[in-house]
Amino acid sequence: MADVNITLDGKKLTAPAGTLLIEACKNAGIEVPSFCYYPGFSLQGACRMCLVKIEKVPKLQTACTTVIGEGMIVTTDSPEIHQARKSMVELLLGNHPLDCPVCDAGGECELQDMTFAYGAAESKYIDIKNHREEQQWSPVVYFDRPRCILCYRCVRVCGEGMDVWALGIQNRGVASVIAPNKEDHLECEECGMCIDICPVGALTSGAYRYKTRPWEMKHIDTTCTHCGDGCRTTLGVRRADTGIEIVRGDNRDKSGINGDFLCIKGRYAFDFVDNEQRIKQPLIRKDGRLTPSSWEEAFELIGRRFAEICGREGGRAIGVIGSSKTSNEENYLLQKFARVVLGTNNIDHHRTGDFPAFARALAGKLDATASMRDVFKAPAMLVIGNDPTNQHPLLAWQIRNNVRLHRSRLYVINSQPIKLRRQATAFAHIPAGSEAKLVALLAGDDSVLDVLVSENTPREALLSLRDRLRGEQNLVIIFGAELRGEEMARLVKVGSAVSGAKFVCLGDYANSRGAADMGLYPDLLPGYLPVTQGKTFREEWGGLPDAPGLTIPQMVDAAKAGQLKALYVVGANPVARFNIDPFAFAKSFVVMQDMFLTETALIADVVLPGANAYEKSGTFTNTCGDLQLLRKAGEVTGTKPDFEIIVRIAERMGFDVRKLVPFGGGMWADMGQSRGAQSGEADRHSVWLEAHGLETKLSPFDPMAILDEIQRLVPGYHVSRRTLLSGTDQHTRIGGPGILHNPELIVPANDDLFTSGTLGRYSRALNSVLENQRRKPVETEVAAD
């Protein structure tokens, strides 16, 4: 839109026509206060804090509801305006309880800040304040009416943002009160967005309330460890006897790919971290019982046994199972450990999406994947399968708000009436399991129509959907694990008929995509390179096994047959996930590292207490391929990051860890002149860091050292390190050539909003919500406004 000229506090400026005055002021560096205005949500004009003087208009006007006009002359501060704002604060304080010393929001309260800014110090009010008892609306949401200033942010974020509409306004006048949908309690997605967006302490979280004062915490931005969307969560941490305690998760810093969004898991389900069942000491099975031991003893045992087995039977007698919840660096290191130290391709992980087939389908295409940010901006979106509202909450938020704010067109194809259909321009309800047929239809094969047509979705609807899709541009195509193998190639072909089409392949866990990208496959090296074509890596690592290794089911069979002598499980729970007969590994030496004694511990000979993603640094790649930083927030004494554990095991096996992790620096640095695969690696790293003022102490346990190697060797990971380290997500391209796997190796996690695999089982917050739900009848979906 054309620019208009305005004058703000004497400064002549131009801004795009249609800009709200409050935004124009913000862009000009002038802060106009507000409680009710919140970018991206409907305008209220209720708090009257943003009153400004517009020349030729007699009354003060609200900057949040005024659209700038040509020649507008605005004064944003004057004695009159100051007095107006001060009086609003005084009026609010009339009934506000002033229990700031114990209020959760004390110290990060917008009302406190405004009171301070406008000097509303004198208490003119001497009558009795209105009072109402505090209410608990759900396991995680508490509401304190006296503190509420009725800015309606919570109502809007729940309705407009989340499409849940669980909050409303009851009564009128001074009796007005925010009300939950079930009179005295909430039935909702428990996302806690209402709490996060509350400018005061009216809405507080059951997980955090009365735990600490905000200024006692340090705030660490890191990446959520639950689903595959990769939200940034800010963890409030403080020192504790047992290390560093995570006290709060929220969305303080709105600069992540998730913007304003966080779901219940990102916000509250960090509490598995200090679950009392957490293992804090290595355990070694002695006389059939897992017995506490020292790290020393455990490493010695593992190193010796692994070395023995390798020496006697070769690496093929050892299987390695990696994780979708460990970092890229750990995954890369683990497969390198398997291939280089153990000398085996027997490495696999729990697969939830067919990324190798995706890589194969996109091989040779540039810019063919969409980032999480792209989803919010695309003019059109197609979602096939999955239920993003429950399984990919951030993705659903991006889709919904893209439709709401940018009028993007959404096409939904699903065998269930998923909630996103409410935002859809067109929704095709197809029979379960017919997603592949649907792709065929989109590709032009009308013979499949009969299978797809149903009462809900007539023939014409499907054909018109296809026509509409063909007419779109820059379409983002998102699909779940319903599509696998060859079908993906067909879908990509459909997409290539649409100019600028991009794809998102959905995987379920926080680093499912990263695990795939890093080559946790028996037949694929990092970057979806078949082991048979591993020339680069062979040269880099100085040799690696040629033949594809065993998948998890094959490992089980091998163990049963007595061929698999050892199993090394890092951050996974294959026994529960694949329903493995525990006796299959009776004769194998099983090492497992995890936070909890999961079902897999039943078969373990050594259990090592691992750290989780909140307790380590590194990177995660979300399901879209966005690379993001993990920063260490918490620490539980007695545990170690998986990275360190792997390195120590290699070291105990007598392996030169410098060949595993190219660390170095300082006066011992290899200055890049010597021979060897990693020559100069660490130095390039340190030179780079120094150049950017980011020098860290390098040790063999520093994941950043291996990130250098990843960035250099894994296609698509060659992104700006500086931008990454500054906390900004970097979109990676999916590498090729990829491969076709047996589609049955994909086992979707089927987690919903309140479950999160093993982590979820150990989260008090999630369990309390689940328990609360079990007590109530199933609620049907609510209509939108």
Partner 1 sequence: MKLSDQFEQRFHAMINHYPTKRSVLVPSLLYAQDELGYLTDELIAEMAQRLDLTDLEIRNVISYYSMLTTQPRGKFNVQVCTNIACMLRGGEEILDHCKRKLGIGHKGTTRDGLFSLEEVECIGACSWAPAAQVNYDFHENLTPERMNEVLQDYRRKVHQQENC
Partner 2 sequence: MADLVSHPDEVKIVSKRFGQGATDIDRYLELDGYKAVQKALGIGPDALINEVKNSGLRGRGGAGFNTGMKWSFVPKQSPRPKYVLCNGDESEPGTCKDRLIFEHDPHSVIEGVVIAGLSVESHVGYIYIRGEYRYLSNIMQKAIKDAYARGFLGKNIFGSGYDFDVYWHGGAGAYEVGEESALMESLEGKRGIPRIRPPFPAVVGLWGGPTIINNAETLASVPHIILGGAEWYASLGPPRNGGTRLFCLSGHVARPGVYELPMGYNLKKMIYEVAGGIADGRRLKAVVPGGASTPCLTAEEVDVPMDFDSLMKAGSMLGSGGVVVLDDSTCMVKFALRTMQFYQHESCGWCIPCREGTDWLKKTLARFHAGEGVKKDIDNIQYLAENMLGRTFCPLGDAAAMPTIAFIKKFRKEFEDHLEGRPCPFEKEGVVKQLPVFA
From the list partner 1, partner 2, none, which binds 128 (C-beta under 5 to 8 Å, kind-based)?
A: partner 2
CB of 371 to partner 1, least distance (A): 35
CB of 383 to partner 1, least distance (A): 24
Looking at the Cβ atoms of 180 and 716, the one nearer to partner 1 is 180
CB of 42 to partner 1, least distance (A): 16
Tell me if 282 sits within 8 A of 292, measured CB to CB.
Answer: yes
- Rounded CA gap, 270 and 266, in Å? 7
Question: Which residues of the chain form contacts with partner 1 (CB under 8 A)?
Answer: 165-172, 179-181, 183, 782-783, 785
From the list partner 1, partner 2, none, which binds 783 (C-beta under 5 to 8 Å, kind-based)?
A: partner 1
From the list partner 2, partner 1, none, which binds 179 (C-beta under 5 to 8 Å, kind-based)?
A: partner 1
Q: Among candidates 518, 255, 512, 535, which has minimal Cα distance to 392?
A: 512
- Rounded CA gap, 468 and 760, in Å? 40
Distances (CA, A) of 273 to 270, 276, 754: 6, 9, 17
Looking at the Cβ atoms of 45 and 379, the one nearer to partner 2 is 45
Tell me if 564 sits within 8 A of 581, measured CB to CB.
Answer: no
CB of 156 to partner 1, least distance (A): 14
DSSP-assigned beta bridge partners for residue 608: 593
CA atoms within 13 A on the CB side of 445: 16
Tell me: cis bond preceding 737? Omega within 30 of 0 counts: yes
From the list partner 1, partner 2, none, which binds 60 (C-beta under 5 to 8 Å, kind-based)?
A: partner 2
Phi, psi values for residue 615, rounded to 5°: -115, 20
Measured N-to-C along each axis, helices 79-95 and 110-118 cross at an angle, to the nearest 10 degrees, of: 130
From the list partner 2, partner 1, none, which binds 166 (C-beta under 5 to 8 Å, kind-based)?
A: partner 1
Looking at the Cβ atoms of 150 and 333, the one nearer to partner 2 is 150
Looking at the Cβ atoms of 175 and 497, the one nearer to partner 2 is 175
| Tokens read off for 353 | 């999406």
Q: Among candidates 607, 561, 549, which has minimal Cα distance to 586?
A: 561
From the list partner 2, partner 1, none, which binds 165 (C-beta under 5 to 8 Å, kind-based)?
A: partner 1
Sort strands 475-479 and 380-384 into parallel, antiparallel or unpaired.
Answer: parallel
Distances (CA, A) of 500 to 178, 473, 496, 497: 45, 6, 8, 9
From the list partner 2, partner 1, none, which binds 150 (C-beta under 5 to 8 Å, kind-based)?
A: partner 2
Looking at the Cβ atoms of 133 and 785, the one nearer to partner 1 is 785
CB of 173 to partner 1, least distance (A): 10
From the list partner 1, partner 2, none, which binds 281 (C-beta under 5 to 8 Å, kind-based)?
A: none
From the list partner 1, partner 2, none, which binds 45 (C-beta under 5 to 8 Å, kind-based)?
A: partner 2
Looking at the Cβ atoms of 165 and 295, the one nearer to partner 1 is 165
Phi, psi values for residue 229, rounded to 5°: -85, -25
CB of 179 to partner 1, least distance (A): 7
CB of 37 to partner 2, least distance (A): 12
Looking at the Cβ atoms of 36 and 550, the one nearer to partner 1 is 36
From the list partner 2, partner 1, none, which binds 130 (C-beta under 5 to 8 Å, kind-based)?
A: partner 2
DSSP 437-505: HHHHHHTT-GGGHHHH--SSS-HHHHHHHHHHHHT-SSEEEEE-TTS-THHHHHHHHHHHTSTT-EEEE
CB of 155 to partner 2, least distance (A): 12
From the list partner 2, partner 1, none, which binds 782 (C-beta under 5 to 8 Å, kind-based)?
A: partner 1
- Rounded CA gap, 111 and 447, in Å? 64
Looking at the Cβ atoms of 87 and 136, the one nearer to partner 2 is 87
DSSP letter at 585?
G
Contacts of residue 745, Cβ cutoff 8 Å, sequence gap at least 6: 351, 551, 552, 553
From the list partner 1, partner 2, none, which binds 277 (C-beta under 5 to 8 Å, kind-based)?
A: none
Looking at the Cβ atoms of 179 and 477, the one nearer to partner 1 is 179
Question: Which residues of the chain form contacts with partner 2 (CB under 8 A)?
Answer: 43-48, 51, 58-60, 65, 83-84, 87-88, 90-92, 94-95, 124-128, 130, 149-150, 169, 171-176
Q: Among candidates 345, 325, 324, which has minimal Cα distance to 336?
A: 345
Looking at the Cβ atoms of 73 and 782, the one nearer to partner 1 is 782
CB of 261 to partner 2, least distance (A): 26
From the list partner 2, partner 1, none, which binds 136 (C-beta under 5 to 8 Å, kind-based)?
A: none
CB of 85 to partner 2, least distance (A): 10
- Rounded CA gap, 741 and 484, in Å? 9
Contacts of residue 417, Cβ cutoff 8 Å, sequence gap at least 6: 427, 429
CB of 242 to partner 2, least distance (A): 46
Q: How far apart are the first and last CA of the chain?
A: 30
Looking at the Cβ atoms of 170 and 291, the one nearer to partner 1 is 170
- Rounded CA gap, 376 and 226, in Å? 21
CB of 520 to partner 2, least distance (A): 54
| Tokens read off for 163 | 């499409």
CB of 244 to partner 2, least distance (A): 41
DSSP letter at 780?
P
Looking at the Cβ atoms of 467 and 785, the one nearer to partner 1 is 785
Looking at the Cβ atoms of 116 and 125, the one nearer to partner 2 is 125
| Tokens read off for 476 | 């983002």
Sort strands 635-636 and 243-250 into parallel, antiparallel or unpaired.
Answer: antiparallel
CB of 108 to partner 2, least distance (A): 21
Looking at the Cβ atoms of 18 and 676, the one nearer to partner 2 is 18
* Environment class of 743 (CB within 10 Å of its CB; exposed 0-12, middle 13-18, buried 19+): middle
From the list partner 1, partner 2, none, which binds 46 (C-beta under 5 to 8 Å, kind-based)?
A: partner 2
